[in-house]
Amino acid sequence: MSRPPLDALLRDLGHRLRRGSATSPAAPPRLPTGEPELDQLLEGGLPCGRLSEISASPGAAQSCGRTSLALSLLAQVTRRQELAALVDAAGAFDPSSAGSRGVQLERVLWARPPARPEARSALRCAERLLLARGFALVLLDLVGVAAPCELSPVWRQLARAAAGSGSALVVLSAGRITGSSAEIALELLARRAHFGGSPALFTGLESEVALVRHRALTPRATRALLHRVA
Amino acid sequence: MRVACLRVPQLLLVAELRASPELAGRALAIAAGREARAEILAVSPEAAARGLCAGRTRAQASALCPELCVRVASPALEESARATLLDLALGFSPRAELAPRRAGLFAAEGCIYLDASGIAALFPSEQGFGAALSQRASALGLPGDVGIGSSRLVARIAALQAVPAGSSARPLSGEPAVFVVPAGGEVGLFARLPLDWLGASDALLERLARFGIRSSGELLALPRRSLITRLGPEAEQLARLARGEGGELPLPVPAGARLLEAVDLEHPLDRLEPLCFALQALLSRLRERLALRQLAVGELELELDLDGGGRDSRRIGLAAPSADPRLLLRLLRASLETRPAEAAVVGLRLCARGAPAPSDQLDLFRPAGPAPAALSQVLNELRALCGTERVGAPAIPDDFHPDALALHPFRPGHGIESPCAGPDGPAPPALRQLRPPVPAQVRLQAGLPAEISSAVARGHVLQLAGPWRSTGGWWSREGRFAYDSFDIQTSDGTLIRLRLDRVRKHWEIDAVYD
């Protein structure tokens, strides 16, 4: 276009013209975890359409509060009348624990794939659930199961499937396994177990959760305390 | 009563073409066997144009037309084609019946009768009904002619009359041929027809021929009383047929919805990929037939004829009815991968139980979940991956046994849902069940666990609560249980639920707090 017509066009459009800039993608909706301090840390909760990981801190004991956090997430989802799916490769899900934490069990699809070899069936189950679209949360429990390593392409594949479905994919693991495919990675560490009363009862567990990876933003804080003392 | 007859004159041929569409347009003949003297039962129009016709031997046919492709008549394919005719008819009418196989000149044909009464609300005329029936049949690869009349016999003869005069074989594609015999028009239709078309016995035909009676018109011209007196009640029955007074039983409503597709393989198959290719063709035909009856597959049965005479049968249950051929093929493949056939496969039979396709009324006031079809599909796939008893909605078991497990069918939005209430206060940490429990070595001190060694937790006991006793099943030797359970924190930081099995006298860890 020659200069005079361009000048005329710029003059006519006037204030409607803006300088071009890269538009930032809209932030995905969040699934609140039900832990106020953690939700504040995550700016609303775990992101939908992304892969997140909850694992134990390196060297931490098994009892660090991962499963409690996952059940709290399940309770939040089902309380909003949405559907959730649990791929329980470890076969460790306890319906009574979930029910006591407010999970509406009839809104949870529980699949218990065989754990051998190498959780392959569990990963395929998770992929199928994501492809079905419509589950707000797909929880993949791989604690105690031989899972693929951080470099495995399976995590990128699952992250892509989650992005396509809009479901939040949360991987529960013994140690970090999803690598850079995870949008958010949380590591939990048990602080203190509470036994009290007469006769003595196990009343709760205090854990510390560390935000070790957040792809989208630099968090103001990286640690939160989870109090679960009945 | 009005009856329609769809007559497929070359059923053996079109059955072969449905299974092997690549043979369309080639000179093709269907033989009774593999030997050189086997009779040719049907020929394609391309082969007929080269001078071939049914009745010759296989050797003669090959000599006449060297490029002729000869296939052996497959009972499985013929059976599938006949069943498809029935499905097609049931898509138009609830009452339908397959005609029995005929011999001789009509050995290669297939006929289906269906109730054509009361079609005025759906079709502008009987001619239009016949045309729609013929077009649907052609679309399924079963081109045929339609006759409509007051009985099965009239309808079949009308279908025979629908073939253009002078052509011995109907082209496999072309305009639908429909012949409608109006009520009362049977006498005019039969008048010039030879009596053997009415199915009279040879003895009666011979006696009538001696009188010079060869057509229906000539028979009806005879005085009724004299006919009965001289030739008996059989002649009277023949005269009634010639007048179109059949007195037939009404058409039945077929029971059940079992759809069978089968194929006899040319060569034994011992690898999974070609077997799945053959299964895909069967599933594709099944899908066509299911669509005709607005059904989905509720259950699949696969039978494999094995080389050497054996047979492998397997049943594949579906969590929810599905008509998706890709899903059904995945389920069949998973079954064959899990339990391969013991020998090469020479024949396949795939039987599907039809079930109404799932439909759900979506709720306006709830978040949208997966589409019903997608949910059915994912449930079927999960069942194939995990096992039928390992997928569903968890439930709190109505059982005192600590290891009891309950699973309900996953049907969100159906039945009574628990109220949307959270826990009354902070809930204790969640349990991770160990299924089966992990054995533990326990050192006691003052009757209580003091040190634990196991694959799950190891070390001194730091904190402890318990024991709590749970017992039950005392009336049964096998089901009896008695546990003393402890909540324990060990020195490695693990919080476990340890229990003493008082029946089997050993310690085990049945859950970990997390």
Instruction: Answer yes or no: do B178 and B30 share one domain.
Output: yes
Is residue A9 classed as helix, strand or coil in its secondary structure? Answer: helix
Number of structural domains in chain A: 1
Q: Which two tokens stand for residue B507?
A: 């310690």
Within a domain: B147? yes
Question: Please, are residues B159 and B180 in contact by the beta-carbon 8 Å criterion?
Answer: no
pLDDT at B413: 67
**For position A207, which CATH number holds?**
3.40.50.300
Within a domain: A12? no
In terms of residues, how long is chain A? Answer: 230
Question: Which residue among B385, B427, B465 places its CB closest to the CB of A121?
Answer: B385
Average confidence (pLDDT) per 10 residues, chain B, 514 residues:
88 86 86 87 87 87 87 85 87 86 75 87 87 88 88 86 56 68 80 79 86 84 84 84 74 76 85 90 86 84 89 82 83 84 89 78 70 80 84 88 86 62 66 91 90 91 89 87 92 91 91 92
Question: Ramachandran region of residue A118, left (φ > 0), alpha (ψ -120 to 50) or beta?
Answer: left
Separation of alpha carbons B353 and B260, rounded Å: 9
Instruction: Answer yes or no: do B226 and B273 share one domain.
Output: no
The residue that leads in pLDDT, A89 or B419, is: A89
Measure A127 CA to nearest chain B CA, in Å: 10
- Alpha-carbon dihedral B334, B336, B339, B342, rounded to 10 degrees: -170
Question: Which residue among A63, A68, A134 places its CB closest to the CB of B368?
Answer: A134
Domain carrying residue A153? 29-229
Place of tokens 């079927």: B380
Question: Which residue among A92, A124, A134 places its CB closest to the CB of B433?
Answer: A92
Question: Please, are residues A63 and A205 in contact by the beta-carbon 8 Å criterion?
Answer: yes
Question: Please, are residues B177 and B156 in contact by the beta-carbon 8 Å criterion?
Answer: no
* Best CA proximity match to B289, nearest among B91, B512, B4: B91
B200 membership: H or E segment, kind and range: none
Question: Ramachandran region of residue B466, left (φ > 0), alpha (ψ -120 to 50) or beta?
Answer: left
Instruction: Answer yes or no: do B131 and B196 share one domain.
Output: no
DSSP characters over B105-142:
GGTT-EEEEEE-TT-TTTSSSHHHHHHHHHHHHHHTT-
Instruction: Answer yes or no: do B119 and B10 share one domain.
Output: yes
* Best CA proximity match to B140, nearest among B300, B352, B296, B291: B291
Other CB atoms closer than 10 Å to residue A4's CB: what's the count?
A: 8
DSSP characters over B227-272:
HHHHH-HHHHHHHHHHTT---PPPPP---S-EEEEEEEEEEEE-SH
Pick from B326, B365, B378 the residue to mutate for testing the A interface (most A CBs within 10 Å): B378
Instruction: Answer yes or no: do B437 and B455 share one domain.
Output: yes
- Alpha-carbon dihedral A119, A121, A126, A128, rounded to 10 degrees: 160
Within a domain: B423? no
Measure B413 CA to nearest chain A CA, in Å: 8
Number of structural domains in chain B: 4
pLDDT at B168: 46
Question: Please, are residues A81 and A217 in contact by the beta-carbon 8 Å criterion?
Answer: no
Is residue B11 classed as helix, strand or coil in its secondary structure? Answer: helix
SS3 labels along B31-95: ECCCCCCCEEEEECHHHHHCCCCCCCEHHHHHHHCCCCEEEECCHHHHHHHHHHHHHHHHCCCCC
Q: Which two tokens stand for residue B120?
A: 């005025």
Place of tokens 């935000």: A211
Question: Which residue among B378, B407, B514 places its CB closest to the CB of A110?
Answer: B407
What b/e readout covers B136-160, taking b as 16+ CB neighbours within 10 angstroms?
bbbebbbbbbbbbbbbbbbbbbbbb
Is the peptide bond prior to B370 cis by the omega test (within 30 degrees of 0)? no
Q: Tens digits of per-residue pLDDT, A131-187?
A: 988 899 999 999 888 878 777 888 999 999 999 998 999 999 998 999 889 999 999
Within a domain: A156? yes
Instruction: Answer yes or no: do B308 and B326 share one domain.
Output: yes
The residue that leads in pLDDT, B377 or A71, is: A71
As a whole number, mean pLDDT of residues A52-57 equals 92
pLDDT at B483: 93
Separation of alpha carbons B408 and B401, rounded Å: 18
Domain carrying residue B206? 188-242
Separation of alpha carbons B455 and B508, rounded Å: 11
Sequence-distant (6+) residues with CB within 8 A of B5 are B99, B111, B112, B113, B146, B147, B148, B149, B152, B155, B156, B158, B159
Pick from A71, A108, A109 the residue to mutate for testing the B interface (most B CBs within 10 Å): A109
Within a domain: A18? no
Instruction: Answer yes or no: do B39 and B158 share one domain.
Output: yes
Separation of alpha carbons A228 and A37, rounded Å: 13
Separation of alpha carbons A185 and A170, rounded Å: 10
Is residue B26 classed as helix, strand or coil in its secondary structure? Answer: coil
Q: Which two tokens stand for residue B370?
A: 């997966």
Q: Which two tokens stand for residue B47?
A: 């082969």
Within a domain: B397? no
**For position B273, which CATH number holds?**
3.30.1490.100
The answer to whether the Cβ–Cβ distance between A135 and B464 falls below 8 Å is no
pLDDT at A17: 64
Checking if the pLDDT of A22 tops 70, the result is no
Within a domain: A133? yes
The structure's pTM equals 0.63
Distance of CA B485 to the CA centre of its chain: 53
Could you give the ipTM of this predicted complex? Answer: 0.84
Name every chain A residue with its beta carbon within 8 A of the beta carbon of B417.
104, 106-107
Instruction: Answer yes or no: do B87 and B100 share one domain.
Output: yes
**Which strand ranges, in their side-by-side order, compose the sheet holding B145-149?**
B96-98, B110-115, B3-8, B145-149, B178-180
